[in-house]
């Protein structure tokens, strides 16, 4: 039972992290109708910025705040310089251009920081395990990821559902032409949304950095999961991204945790332990396939156009 609690926390933590990445992606995709493959590069840049600024300032919190600001600025700059010229284009053009950006960022990082990768050490107050319920110790840092991500999710909810900006964002997701016709500065709105998405991706990257290492191409594998999440959740829907991300995080972690033992009851031990990881990594894609067949618009689609 206690194991289940701990593994569920692992799943929740992973899911929330995916949410941060998917939220930005779904905003940009849903509102601007723009496919941004370079979203994973912003995740990587967030991690590199954090590792650099933490080393410079010698303060974990300060470094992370600086990195967040830097990723936001980078996102706005990127939108301003390159991506804004692609909005009217075909999705294929956008995919090609943003794929080019992935290569650009990977090589830029190789030039600036070198090929070996960086590490982002945690301050000592985040490295101790915390007792959540009697008998269950959980790493403080992973716990803090859960707290921060939940706070960000709540903030996003308030901004999107309760403020004027949020209203415009939602309106943009439902009908872009109409809000343009109503005199809203859609260019500025897009820049803002893109910057926000970039900052969220950067936050995901820098929070993941102390757990994983900071390395070139770190955003590419996880970007696929983020796309899966927005497809499951419904494109453009923050609520969908949130629920789907937690769902995917749970399936991935619980699959890895319990599938091997489950399989061992029917298969030989050796066959089970090699089949289980392969099978558990397939589960998420199976889920996506089922969702696409049963509800192609996603489980929690944004308001209809």
DSSP string, 22-39: HHHHHHHHHHH----TTH
Q: Does residue number 297 form part of the binding site for other proteins (CB under 8 A)?
A: no
The residue among 87 and 258 lying less far from other proteins, judged by its C-beta, is: 258
The residue among 3 and 181 lying less far from other proteins, judged by its C-beta, is: 3
The residue among 41 and 280 lying less far from other proteins, judged by its C-beta, is: 280
Instruction: Using CB under 8 A, pick the residue from 26, 50, 79, 142 that binds other proteins.
Output: 142
C-alpha 269/C-alpha 7 separation (Å) is: 22
Instruction: Using CB under 8 A, pick the residue from 24, 197, 260, 298 that binds other proteins.
Output: 260
**What residues have CB less than 8 Å from 262, skipping those under 6 apart?**
none
**Least distance (Å) from other proteins to the CB of residue 66?**
22
Q: Does residue number 36 form part of the binding site for other proteins (CB under 8 A)?
A: no
Specify the residue for token string 């996880």: 222
Element (H, E) at 65: helix 60-81
The β-bridge relationship of strands 136-139 and 129-133 is antiparallel
**What residues have CB less than 8 Å from 109, skipping those under 6 apart?**
44, 45, 48, 216
Site for other proteins in 205-234 (CB under 8 A): 210-213, 215-218, 221
Site for other proteins in 45-84 (CB under 8 A): none
The residue among 63 and 236 lying less far from other proteins, judged by its C-beta, is: 63
Backbone phi and psi for residue 285, each to the nearest 5 degrees, phi listed first? -75, -30
Q: Give bridge partners of residue 136 from the DSSP assignment.
A: 133
Q: Does residue number 99 form part of the binding site for other proteins (CB under 8 A)?
A: no
The residue among 123 and 296 lying less far from other proteins, judged by its C-beta, is: 123
Please report which residue ranges of the chain form alpha helices under DSSP H: 2-32, 39-57, 60-81, 91-113, 140-162, 164-174, 176-181, 186-208, 218-233, 238-264, 269-294
Q: Which one of the spans 56-64, 92-100, 240-248, 252-260 is the region binding other proteins (CB under 8 A)? A: 252-260
Q: Which one of the spans 69-77, 235-243, 253-261, 289-297 is the region binding other proteins (CB under 8 A)? A: 253-261
∠ CA 194-200-203 to the nearest 5 degrees? 140
- For other proteins (CB under 8 A), the number of binding residues is 43
For CA atoms 90, 92, 97, 99, give the dihedral sign: positive
Build a one-symbol-per-residue string for 110-129: x at contacts with other proteins by CB under 8 A, - elsewhere: -----xxxxx-xx----xxx
The span from the first CA to the last CA of the chain, in angstroms, equals: 45
Site for other proteins in 1-30 (CB under 8 A): 2-3, 6-7, 10, 13-14
Q: Give bridge partners of residue 118 from the DSSP assignment.
A: 214
The residue among 185 and 274 lying less far from other proteins, judged by its C-beta, is: 274
Structure token pair of residue 127: 């490295």
Instruction: Using CB under 8 A, pick the residue from 170, 176, 239, 256 that binds other proteins.
Output: 256
Please report which residue ranges of 114-163 form alpha helices under DSSP H: 140-162
Q: Under the rule (CB under 8 A), what is the footprint of other proteins?
A: 2-3, 6-7, 10, 13-14, 115-119, 121-122, 127-129, 137, 139, 141-142, 210-213, 215-218, 221, 253-254, 256-257, 260, 269, 273-274, 276-278, 280-281
């Amino acid at each position: 039972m206690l194991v289940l609690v701990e593994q569920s926390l692992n799943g929740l933590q992973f899911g929330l992290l995916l949410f941060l990445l998917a939220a930005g992606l779904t905003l940009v995709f849903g509102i601007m109708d723009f496919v941004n493959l370079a979203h994973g590069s912003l995740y990587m840049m967030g991690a590199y910025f954090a590792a650099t600024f933490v080393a410079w300032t010698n303060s974990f919190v300060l470094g992370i705040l600086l990195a967040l600001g830097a990723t936001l600025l980078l996102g706005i700059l990127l939108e301003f310089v390159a991506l804004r010229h692609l909005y009217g284009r075909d999705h294929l053009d956008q995919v090609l251009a943003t794929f080019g950006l992935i290569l650009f960022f990977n090589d830029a990082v190789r030039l600036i920081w070198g090929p070996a990768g960086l590490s982002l050490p945690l301050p000592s107050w985040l490295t101790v395990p915390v007792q959540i319920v009697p008998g269950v110790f959980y790493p403080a840092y992973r716990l803090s990821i859960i707290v921060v991500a939940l706070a960000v999710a709540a903030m996003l909810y308030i901004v999107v559902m309760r403020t004027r900006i949020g209203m415009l964002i939602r309106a943009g997701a439902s009908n872009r032409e109409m809000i343009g016709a109503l005199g809203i500065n859609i260019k500025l709105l897009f820049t803002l949304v893109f910057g926000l998405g970039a900052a969220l991706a950067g936050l995901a990257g820098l929070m993941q950095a102390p757990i994983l290492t900071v390395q070139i191409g770190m955003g590419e594998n996880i970007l696929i999961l983020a796309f899966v999440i927005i497809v499951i959740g419904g494109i453009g829907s923050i609520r969908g991204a949130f629920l789907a991300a937690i769902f995917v995080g749970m399936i991935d972690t619980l699959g890895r945790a319990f599938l091997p033992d489950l399989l061992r009851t029917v298969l030989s031990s050796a066959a089970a332990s090699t089949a289980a990881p392969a099978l558990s990594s397939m589960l998420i894609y199976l889920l996506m396939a089922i969702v696409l067949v049963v509800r192609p618009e996603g489980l929690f689609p944004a308001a209809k156009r």
